[in-house]
Homo-oligomer: A and B are copies of this chain.
Amino acid sequence: MNLVYNEDQQQLLDSARDFLAAKSPVSVQRRLRDEASSSGFCPQVWQGMRDLGWSAVAFEEKVGGLEFGFAGYAPIFEQMGRHLAASPLLSSIVLCGGLVELMGSEEQQQQLLPALIAGELRAALALEESERHQPDLIKTRARMEQGGWLLDGRKEWVADGNEADAWLVVAAVDANELGVFLVHAGAKGLSLEPRTMIDARNMAAMTLQGAKAERIGGCAAEALDLVLDRGRACLAAELLGVSEALFDMTVEYLKTRVQFGVPIGSFQALQHRAARLYVELQLARSSTMAAFSALENQAIEVNERRRLVSLAKWKANICAQRISNEAVQMHGGIGVTDEYDLGLFLKRTRLAQNQLGHTDFHCARYACNLSTKNA
Protein backbone atom coordinates (compact mmCIF):
# COMPACT_ATOMS: atom_id res chain seq x y z
CA MET A 1 0.00 0.00 0.00
CA ASN A 2 1.36 3.38 -1.02
CA LEU A 3 -0.31 6.44 0.41
CA VAL A 4 1.41 9.15 -1.57
CA TYR A 5 1.21 9.74 -5.29
CA ASN A 6 3.95 8.07 -7.26
CA GLU A 7 5.66 9.95 -10.05
CA ASP A 8 3.18 8.86 -12.69
CA GLN A 9 0.24 9.92 -10.57
CA GLN A 10 1.94 13.20 -9.80
CA GLN A 11 2.35 13.86 -13.52
CA LEU A 12 -1.31 13.11 -14.09
CA LEU A 13 -2.15 15.49 -11.25
CA ASP A 14 -0.06 18.29 -12.72
CA SER A 15 -1.46 17.89 -16.19
CA ALA A 16 -5.02 17.66 -14.85
CA ARG A 17 -4.52 20.83 -12.86
CA ASP A 18 -3.10 22.73 -15.80
CA PHE A 19 -5.80 21.53 -18.17
CA LEU A 20 -8.71 22.24 -15.81
CA ALA A 21 -7.38 25.60 -14.69
CA ALA A 22 -7.16 26.66 -18.31
CA LYS A 23 -10.23 25.03 -19.80
CA SER A 24 -12.62 24.39 -16.95
CA PRO A 25 -12.48 27.15 -14.36
CA VAL A 26 -15.48 27.44 -12.03
CA SER A 27 -16.96 30.02 -14.37
CA VAL A 28 -17.64 27.24 -16.87
CA GLN A 29 -19.73 25.41 -14.30
CA ARG A 30 -21.54 28.63 -13.43
CA ARG A 31 -22.33 29.25 -17.07
CA LEU A 32 -23.68 25.73 -17.53
CA ARG A 33 -25.97 26.40 -14.60
CA ASP A 34 -27.09 29.84 -15.75
CA GLU A 35 -27.81 28.48 -19.21
CA ALA A 36 -29.67 25.52 -17.69
CA SER A 37 -27.58 23.11 -19.74
CA SER A 38 -29.41 19.86 -20.13
CA SER A 39 -26.24 17.75 -20.27
CA GLY A 40 -24.70 19.54 -17.29
CA PHE A 41 -21.20 19.34 -18.70
CA CYS A 42 -19.22 21.14 -21.37
CA PRO A 43 -18.59 18.98 -24.46
CA GLN A 44 -15.30 20.70 -25.24
CA VAL A 45 -13.99 20.02 -21.75
CA TRP A 46 -15.08 16.41 -22.01
CA GLN A 47 -13.33 16.19 -25.39
CA GLY A 48 -10.21 17.66 -23.83
CA MET A 49 -10.29 15.10 -21.04
CA ARG A 50 -10.49 12.29 -23.56
CA ASP A 51 -7.66 13.83 -25.55
CA LEU A 52 -5.59 13.67 -22.38
CA GLY A 53 -6.42 9.98 -22.13
CA TRP A 54 -8.57 10.17 -19.03
CA SER A 55 -11.20 7.89 -20.50
CA ALA A 56 -8.55 5.28 -21.32
CA VAL A 57 -6.50 5.36 -18.13
CA ALA A 58 -7.51 2.05 -16.59
CA PHE A 59 -8.44 -0.13 -19.55
CA GLU A 60 -6.36 -2.76 -21.23
CA GLU A 61 -4.51 -1.92 -24.39
CA LYS A 62 -6.47 -4.41 -26.46
CA VAL A 63 -9.58 -2.27 -26.13
CA GLY A 64 -7.76 1.00 -26.56
CA GLY A 65 -6.80 1.55 -22.94
CA LEU A 66 -3.58 2.90 -21.46
CA GLU A 67 -3.17 0.25 -18.75
CA PHE A 68 -2.09 2.93 -16.35
CA GLY A 69 -4.01 1.31 -13.53
CA PHE A 70 -7.05 2.47 -11.65
CA ALA A 71 -5.04 4.58 -9.20
CA GLY A 72 -4.66 7.12 -11.98
CA TYR A 73 -8.16 8.27 -11.20
CA ALA A 74 -7.18 9.53 -7.75
CA PRO A 75 -5.36 12.64 -8.99
CA ILE A 76 -7.82 13.14 -11.86
CA PHE A 77 -10.94 13.16 -9.68
CA GLU A 78 -9.18 15.18 -7.03
CA GLN A 79 -8.49 17.87 -9.58
CA MET A 80 -11.98 17.65 -11.02
CA GLY A 81 -13.21 18.35 -7.50
CA ARG A 82 -10.84 21.22 -7.03
CA HIS A 83 -12.01 22.90 -10.21
CA LEU A 84 -15.62 21.82 -9.87
CA ALA A 85 -15.44 20.28 -13.31
CA ALA A 86 -18.41 18.25 -14.51
CA SER A 87 -17.92 15.40 -16.94
CA PRO A 88 -19.30 11.94 -17.71
CA LEU A 89 -16.03 10.37 -16.62
CA LEU A 90 -17.53 8.68 -13.59
CA SER A 91 -20.78 7.54 -15.19
CA SER A 92 -19.65 6.57 -18.65
CA ILE A 93 -16.10 5.36 -18.07
CA VAL A 94 -15.58 4.28 -14.46
CA LEU A 95 -19.02 2.79 -13.87
CA CYS A 96 -20.36 1.69 -17.26
CA GLY A 97 -16.96 1.03 -18.79
CA GLY A 98 -15.96 -0.85 -15.68
CA LEU A 99 -19.01 -3.10 -15.82
CA VAL A 100 -18.47 -3.92 -19.48
CA GLU A 101 -14.81 -4.62 -18.80
CA LEU A 102 -15.55 -6.91 -15.87
CA MET A 103 -18.66 -8.65 -17.13
CA GLY A 104 -18.98 -8.22 -20.86
CA SER A 105 -18.24 -10.92 -23.38
CA GLU A 106 -15.18 -10.50 -25.58
CA GLU A 107 -17.47 -9.25 -28.30
CA GLN A 108 -19.28 -6.78 -26.07
CA GLN A 109 -15.98 -5.44 -24.84
CA GLN A 110 -14.63 -4.95 -28.33
CA GLN A 111 -17.84 -3.35 -29.41
CA LEU A 112 -18.44 -1.07 -26.45
CA LEU A 113 -15.20 -0.15 -24.75
CA PRO A 114 -13.41 1.59 -27.64
CA ALA A 115 -16.58 3.56 -28.32
CA LEU A 116 -16.91 4.56 -24.66
CA ILE A 117 -13.26 5.57 -24.51
CA ALA A 118 -13.56 7.61 -27.68
CA GLY A 119 -16.69 9.30 -26.43
CA GLU A 120 -18.68 8.07 -29.41
CA LEU A 121 -20.90 6.23 -27.00
CA ARG A 122 -21.80 7.96 -23.77
CA ALA A 123 -23.40 5.67 -21.23
CA ALA A 124 -24.94 6.16 -17.78
CA LEU A 125 -25.60 3.69 -15.01
CA ALA A 126 -29.25 3.32 -14.02
CA LEU A 127 -29.08 1.79 -10.57
CA GLU A 128 -30.83 3.72 -7.80
CA GLU A 129 -34.51 3.33 -7.11
CA SER A 130 -34.70 5.30 -3.91
CA GLU A 131 -33.47 8.67 -2.79
CA ARG A 132 -30.61 7.23 -0.79
CA HIS A 133 -28.11 4.73 -2.14
CA GLN A 134 -29.44 1.19 -1.73
CA PRO A 135 -27.72 -1.01 -4.28
CA ASP A 136 -29.57 -4.10 -3.05
CA LEU A 137 -33.00 -2.64 -3.41
CA ILE A 138 -33.75 -3.32 -7.06
CA LYS A 139 -37.35 -3.70 -8.11
CA THR A 140 -36.78 -3.22 -11.82
CA ARG A 141 -37.34 -6.60 -13.48
CA ALA A 142 -35.82 -8.18 -16.55
CA ARG A 143 -37.85 -10.75 -18.43
CA MET A 144 -37.07 -12.85 -21.43
CA GLU A 145 -39.44 -12.66 -24.38
CA GLN A 146 -38.82 -14.23 -27.74
CA GLY A 147 -35.18 -14.71 -26.94
CA GLY A 148 -34.63 -11.09 -26.00
CA TRP A 149 -34.66 -9.23 -22.69
CA LEU A 150 -37.29 -6.67 -21.79
CA LEU A 151 -37.10 -4.38 -18.77
CA ASP A 152 -39.86 -2.99 -16.56
CA GLY A 153 -39.42 -0.61 -13.71
CA ARG A 154 -38.39 2.82 -12.65
CA LYS A 155 -35.01 4.32 -11.87
CA GLU A 156 -35.26 7.53 -9.95
CA TRP A 157 -31.81 9.02 -9.97
CA VAL A 158 -29.66 8.33 -13.00
CA ALA A 159 -26.57 10.51 -12.88
CA ASP A 160 -25.66 11.81 -16.35
CA GLY A 161 -28.78 10.04 -17.58
CA ASN A 162 -30.03 12.85 -19.80
CA GLU A 163 -29.08 12.68 -23.47
CA ALA A 164 -26.93 9.62 -22.98
CA ASP A 165 -26.43 7.30 -25.92
CA ALA A 166 -27.05 4.26 -23.81
CA TRP A 167 -27.68 3.15 -20.27
CA LEU A 168 -26.61 0.19 -18.24
CA VAL A 169 -29.65 -0.76 -16.21
CA VAL A 170 -29.38 -2.92 -13.12
CA ALA A 171 -32.39 -5.19 -12.97
CA ALA A 172 -33.48 -8.33 -11.14
CA VAL A 173 -33.51 -11.44 -13.26
CA ASP A 174 -35.15 -13.40 -10.51
CA ALA A 175 -35.41 -13.13 -6.74
CA ASN A 176 -31.75 -13.97 -6.22
CA GLU A 177 -29.95 -12.64 -9.24
CA LEU A 178 -29.18 -9.17 -10.48
CA GLY A 179 -28.18 -8.52 -14.05
CA VAL A 180 -26.82 -5.58 -16.01
CA PHE A 181 -28.63 -4.64 -19.21
CA LEU A 182 -27.70 -2.32 -22.01
CA VAL A 183 -30.48 -0.11 -23.30
CA HIS A 184 -29.93 2.20 -26.25
CA ALA A 185 -31.31 5.68 -26.69
CA GLY A 186 -34.59 5.66 -28.51
CA ALA A 187 -35.56 2.22 -27.30
CA LYS A 188 -39.29 1.68 -27.24
CA GLY A 189 -40.75 1.74 -23.73
CA LEU A 190 -37.94 3.90 -22.41
CA SER A 191 -38.61 7.41 -21.21
CA LEU A 192 -36.48 9.88 -19.31
CA GLU A 193 -37.37 12.91 -17.26
CA PRO A 194 -34.66 15.42 -16.46
CA ARG A 195 -34.20 16.53 -12.87
CA THR A 196 -32.71 19.91 -12.04
CA MET A 197 -30.48 19.45 -9.04
CA ILE A 198 -28.70 22.06 -6.91
CA ASP A 199 -25.37 21.20 -8.49
CA ALA A 200 -26.81 21.84 -11.96
CA ARG A 201 -25.36 18.60 -13.26
CA ASN A 202 -27.06 15.91 -15.25
CA MET A 203 -29.66 13.81 -13.47
CA ALA A 204 -32.67 11.97 -14.79
CA ALA A 205 -35.50 9.70 -13.77
CA MET A 206 -36.10 6.73 -16.07
CA THR A 207 -39.19 4.68 -16.78
CA LEU A 208 -38.90 1.29 -18.40
CA GLN A 209 -41.98 -0.34 -19.85
CA GLY A 210 -40.94 -3.43 -21.68
CA ALA A 211 -37.84 -1.67 -22.95
CA LYS A 212 -35.63 -3.86 -25.14
CA ALA A 213 -32.23 -4.59 -23.62
CA GLU A 214 -29.06 -6.56 -24.15
CA ARG A 215 -27.68 -8.41 -21.20
CA ILE A 216 -24.07 -7.79 -20.25
CA GLY A 217 -22.54 -10.93 -18.79
CA GLY A 218 -24.18 -12.99 -16.10
CA CYS A 219 -24.76 -12.56 -12.40
CA ALA A 220 -23.86 -8.97 -11.59
CA ALA A 221 -23.47 -8.94 -7.83
CA GLU A 222 -19.72 -9.25 -7.57
CA ALA A 223 -18.75 -7.04 -10.46
CA LEU A 224 -21.27 -4.43 -9.45
CA ASP A 225 -19.86 -4.38 -5.93
CA LEU A 226 -16.36 -3.79 -7.28
CA VAL A 227 -17.37 -1.19 -9.84
CA LEU A 228 -19.44 0.72 -7.28
CA ASP A 229 -16.42 0.69 -5.00
CA ARG A 230 -14.38 2.23 -7.79
CA GLY A 231 -17.02 4.87 -8.21
CA ARG A 232 -17.06 5.52 -4.48
CA ALA A 233 -13.33 5.99 -4.41
CA CYS A 234 -13.58 8.44 -7.30
CA LEU A 235 -16.27 10.37 -5.46
CA ALA A 236 -14.11 10.39 -2.34
CA ALA A 237 -11.27 11.85 -4.37
CA GLU A 238 -13.60 14.42 -5.91
CA LEU A 239 -14.93 15.37 -2.46
CA LEU A 240 -11.38 15.63 -1.23
CA GLY A 241 -10.59 18.04 -4.07
CA VAL A 242 -13.71 20.07 -3.40
CA SER A 243 -12.86 20.19 0.30
CA GLU A 244 -9.33 21.32 -0.37
CA ALA A 245 -10.55 24.04 -2.67
CA LEU A 246 -12.98 25.25 -0.01
CA PHE A 247 -10.32 25.02 2.66
CA ASP A 248 -7.79 26.99 0.64
CA MET A 249 -10.34 29.67 -0.19
CA THR A 250 -11.17 29.92 3.49
CA VAL A 251 -7.62 30.11 4.77
CA GLU A 252 -6.89 32.75 2.16
CA TYR A 253 -9.96 34.69 3.24
CA LEU A 254 -8.92 34.46 6.89
CA LYS A 255 -5.58 35.97 5.98
CA THR A 256 -6.97 38.87 3.98
CA ARG A 257 -10.34 39.84 5.45
CA VAL A 258 -9.83 42.60 7.99
CA GLN A 259 -12.25 43.29 10.84
CA PHE A 260 -11.56 45.28 13.98
CA GLY A 261 -8.32 46.39 12.37
CA VAL A 262 -6.78 42.90 12.08
CA PRO A 263 -7.07 39.95 9.71
CA ILE A 264 -9.81 37.69 11.06
CA GLY A 265 -7.37 34.80 10.75
CA SER A 266 -5.59 36.16 13.81
CA PHE A 267 -8.59 35.31 15.99
CA GLN A 268 -7.67 32.20 17.92
CA ALA A 269 -11.14 30.67 17.81
CA LEU A 270 -11.04 30.73 14.01
CA GLN A 271 -7.44 29.50 14.00
CA HIS A 272 -8.32 26.45 16.02
CA ARG A 273 -11.32 25.70 13.85
CA ALA A 274 -9.19 26.01 10.73
CA ALA A 275 -6.59 23.70 12.29
CA ARG A 276 -9.27 21.11 12.98
CA LEU A 277 -10.42 21.28 9.38
CA TYR A 278 -6.85 20.68 8.28
CA VAL A 279 -6.82 17.56 10.44
CA GLU A 280 -10.02 16.29 8.85
CA LEU A 281 -8.60 16.93 5.42
CA GLN A 282 -5.49 14.91 6.14
CA LEU A 283 -7.44 11.98 7.56
CA ALA A 284 -9.68 12.05 4.50
CA ARG A 285 -6.72 12.12 2.16
CA SER A 286 -4.99 9.18 3.84
CA SER A 287 -8.22 7.19 3.68
CA THR A 288 -8.79 8.02 0.04
CA MET A 289 -5.26 7.06 -0.90
CA ALA A 290 -5.73 3.74 0.91
CA ALA A 291 -8.95 3.09 -1.00
CA PHE A 292 -7.22 3.53 -4.34
CA SER A 293 -4.36 1.34 -3.18
CA ALA A 294 -6.87 -1.33 -2.25
CA LEU A 295 -8.52 -1.10 -5.67
CA GLU A 296 -5.17 -1.53 -7.38
CA ASN A 297 -4.27 -4.54 -5.29
CA GLN A 298 -5.44 -7.70 -7.08
CA ALA A 299 -4.60 -9.91 -4.12
CA ILE A 300 -6.66 -8.04 -1.58
CA GLU A 301 -9.51 -9.69 0.32
CA VAL A 302 -12.90 -8.45 -0.81
CA ASN A 303 -13.79 -7.47 2.75
CA GLU A 304 -10.69 -5.38 3.11
CA ARG A 305 -11.31 -3.57 -0.15
CA ARG A 306 -14.87 -2.84 0.89
CA ARG A 307 -13.78 -1.68 4.30
CA LEU A 308 -11.15 0.71 2.99
CA VAL A 309 -13.40 2.11 0.27
CA SER A 310 -16.21 2.68 2.73
CA LEU A 311 -13.77 4.33 5.11
CA ALA A 312 -12.70 6.69 2.34
CA LYS A 313 -16.19 7.66 1.23
CA TRP A 314 -17.34 8.01 4.85
CA LYS A 315 -14.46 10.23 5.80
CA ALA A 316 -14.61 12.27 2.59
CA ASN A 317 -18.34 12.81 3.16
CA ILE A 318 -17.82 14.00 6.71
CA CYS A 319 -14.87 16.13 5.76
CA ALA A 320 -16.72 17.78 2.87
CA GLN A 321 -19.79 18.47 4.96
CA ARG A 322 -17.82 19.98 7.78
CA ILE A 323 -15.49 22.01 5.63
CA SER A 324 -18.25 23.35 3.41
CA ASN A 325 -20.26 24.46 6.43
CA GLU A 326 -17.30 26.05 8.11
CA ALA A 327 -16.20 27.69 4.88
CA VAL A 328 -19.54 29.43 4.56
CA GLN A 329 -19.59 30.40 8.22
CA MET A 330 -16.06 31.78 8.24
CA HIS A 331 -16.68 33.77 5.08
CA GLY A 332 -19.69 35.40 6.68
CA GLY A 333 -22.12 37.33 4.48
CA ILE A 334 -20.21 37.00 1.25
CA GLY A 335 -20.23 33.24 1.60
CA VAL A 336 -24.00 33.01 1.19
CA THR A 337 -24.18 35.22 -1.92
CA ASP A 338 -24.67 33.53 -5.22
CA GLU A 339 -22.06 35.79 -6.78
CA TYR A 340 -19.28 34.15 -4.79
CA ASP A 341 -18.17 30.70 -5.98
CA LEU A 342 -18.28 29.09 -2.57
CA GLY A 343 -21.95 28.17 -2.80
CA LEU A 344 -21.35 26.24 -6.01
CA PHE A 345 -18.82 24.04 -4.24
CA LEU A 346 -21.14 23.64 -1.25
CA LYS A 347 -23.96 22.46 -3.49
CA ARG A 348 -21.77 19.97 -5.27
CA THR A 349 -20.63 18.41 -1.99
CA ARG A 350 -24.11 17.34 -0.99
CA LEU A 351 -24.80 15.56 -4.26
CA ALA A 352 -21.45 13.80 -4.18
CA GLN A 353 -21.94 12.94 -0.50
CA ASN A 354 -25.23 11.29 -1.25
CA GLN A 355 -24.13 9.53 -4.43
CA LEU A 356 -23.13 5.87 -4.01
CA GLY A 357 -23.60 5.97 -0.26
CA HIS A 358 -24.20 8.59 2.36
CA THR A 359 -22.26 8.75 5.58
CA ASP A 360 -24.30 6.28 7.60
CA PHE A 361 -24.42 3.83 4.72
CA HIS A 362 -20.65 3.57 4.66
CA CYS A 363 -20.37 3.43 8.42
CA ALA A 364 -22.69 0.42 8.44
CA ARG A 365 -20.87 -1.15 5.49
CA TYR A 366 -17.53 -0.71 7.22
CA ALA A 367 -18.91 -2.51 10.27
CA CYS A 368 -20.08 -5.42 8.12
CA ASN A 369 -16.65 -5.81 6.58
CA LEU A 370 -14.68 -5.33 9.73
CA SER A 371 -14.18 -8.92 10.75
CA THR A 372 -11.17 -9.53 8.54
CA LYS A 373 -9.36 -6.43 9.75
CA ASN A 374 -7.42 -8.21 12.42
CA ALA A 375 -7.61 -11.63 10.86
Flag A266-299 by CB within 8 Å of B: 1 or 0 each. Answer: 0111011000000000000000000000000000
For the complex formed, measure the closest distance between the CB of A107 and the CB atoms of chain B, giving whole angstroms: 55
Quick one: closest B residue to A273, CB to CB? B269
Provide the residues of chain B in CB contact with A268, threshold 8 Å: 267-269
| A374 to B123 Cα, complex, angstroms | 48
Provide the residues of chain B in CB contact with A267, threshold 8 Å: 268
| A20 to B272 Cα, complex, angstroms | 40
| A129 to B267 Cα, complex, angstroms | 51
Provide the residues of chain B in CB contact with A269, threshold 8 Å: 268-269, 271-272
For the complex formed, measure the closest distance between the CB of A23 and the CB atoms of chain B, giving whole angstroms: 42
| A267 to B272 Cα, complex, angstroms | 11
Number of interface residues of A (CB under 8 A): 5
Provide the residues of chain B in CB contact with A271, threshold 8 Å: 269
| A268 to B266 Cα, complex, angstroms | 10
Name the interface residues of A239-288: CB closer than 8 Å to any CB of B. 267-269, 271-272
| A271 to B268 Cα, complex, angstroms | 10
Provide the residues of chain B in CB contact with A272, threshold 8 Å: 269
Name the interface residues of A196-211: CB closer than 8 Å to any CB of B. none
For the complex formed, measure the closest distance between the CB of A6 and the CB atoms of chain B, giving whole angstroms: 39
For the complex formed, measure the closest distance between the CB of A204 and the CB atoms of chain B, giving whole angstroms: 37
Quick one: closest B residue to A267, CB to CB? B268
| A269 to B276 Cα, complex, angstroms | 12
Flag A166-185 by CB within 8 Å of B: 1 or 0 each. Answer: 00000000000000000000
For the complex formed, measure the closest distance between the CB of A72 and the CB atoms of chain B, giving whole angstroms: 41
| A272 to B273 Cα, complex, angstroms | 11
For the complex formed, measure the closest distance between the CB of A138 and the CB atoms of chain B, giving whole angstroms: 30
For the complex formed, measure the closest distance between the CB of A354 and the CB atoms of chain B, giving whole angstroms: 24
For the complex formed, measure the closest distance between the CB of A332 and the CB atoms of chain B, giving whole angstroms: 16
| A267 to B269 Cα, complex, angstroms | 8
For the complex formed, measure the closest distance between the CB of A265 and the CB atoms of chain B, giving whole angstroms: 12
Flag A86-125 by CB within 8 Å of B: 1 or 0 each. Answer: 0000000000000000000000000000000000000000
| A272 to B272 Cα, complex, angstroms | 11
For the complex formed, measure the closest distance between the CB of A102 and the CB atoms of chain B, giving whole angstroms: 42
For the complex formed, measure the closest distance between the CB of A302 and the CB atoms of chain B, giving whole angstroms: 32
Cross-chain pairs A/B with CB under 8 angstroms, 5 sampled: A267-B268, A268-B268, A268-B269, A269-B271, A269-B272
List the 6 closest pairs (A to B, CB-CB), nearest first: A268-B269, A268-B268, A269-B272, A269-B269, A267-B268, A269-B271
